[in-house]
Amino acid sequence: MINGPVKQVLSSGVMGPGEETFHRLIAHPAFELEEIVSRGQASPEGFWYDQPRDEWVLLVAGRAVLAFEPGGRMELVAGNHVLIPARLQHRVEEASEDAVWLALHFDAAPRTAEMKVSRVVVWLALHFDAAPRDDA
């Protein structure tokens, strides 16, 4: 049995256009899960993320375009997900006003990365209700 308060995922706090917020949902020694709410936010010109951990991102709502160094672009719509290996430079080129992400950061050897992501995704599916919200 799970005890404790129910927490809201996919928060909708008051934000202006072009703003972005990060909410840590789970912090664990093996992984960190965060919600990212974007309101049309893009990475600053010339800025590249260069993270020490693998990152699996799921675009829950909206659309976005990721760019990768040394080249390549990926257009995402709600429901798309991608595994970004550690140290692969990337940036958000575009994000719609309603873009919401889940980002899972973790350490993994290349052969086991997808297996670990699969385990965490199954765990999340068992512990969180993914039903659409009615904000009305």
Q: Kindly state whether residue 3 falls inside one of the protein's structural domains.
A: no
What band does 136 get if pLDDT is binned at 50, 70 and 90?
very low
Which parts of 33-135 fold into alpha helices (H)?
113-127
- Provide the residue range defining the domain that includes 82: 21-127
* pLDDT digit string, tens, across residues 85-128: 999 999 999 999 999 999 999 986 655 556 666 666 665 655 55
Q: Kindly state whether residue 85 falls inside one of the protein's structural domains.
A: yes
The neighbour count for residue 105, using CB atoms within 10 Å, is: 18
Burial class (CB in 10 A: 0-12, 13-18, 19+), 101: buried
Contact 54, 107 (CB under 8 A): yes
Q: Kindly state whether residue 77 falls inside one of the protein's structural domains.
A: yes
* pLDDT digit string, tens, across residues 51-77: 999 999 999 999 999 999 988 999 999
Name the β-bridge partners of 66.
74, 92
Q: Kindly state whether residue 44 falls inside one of the protein's structural domains.
A: yes
Separation between Cα atoms, residue 104 and residue 25, nearest integer Å: 10
Q: Kindly state whether residue 136 falls inside one of the protein's structural domains.
A: no
Among the residue ranges 5-9, 26-30, 63-67, 88-92, the one predicted with the least confidence is 5-9
Q: Kindly state whether residue 135 falls inside one of the protein's structural domains.
A: no
* Structural Rg of the chain based on CA atoms: 15
Q: Kindly state whether residue 25 falls inside one of the protein's structural domains.
A: yes
Q: Is the pLDDT of residue 82 over 80?
A: yes
How many domains does the chain contain in total? 1
Buried b (16+ CB within 10 A) or exposed e, 27-61: eeeebbbbbbbbbbbbbeeeeeeeeeebbbbbbbb
What band does 8 get if pLDDT is binned at 50, 70 and 90?
low
Separation between Cα atoms, residue 50 and residue 132, nearest integer Å: 33
Q: Kindly state whether residue 42 falls inside one of the protein's structural domains.
A: yes
Q: What is the domain-level CATH number for residue 39?
A: 2.60.120.10
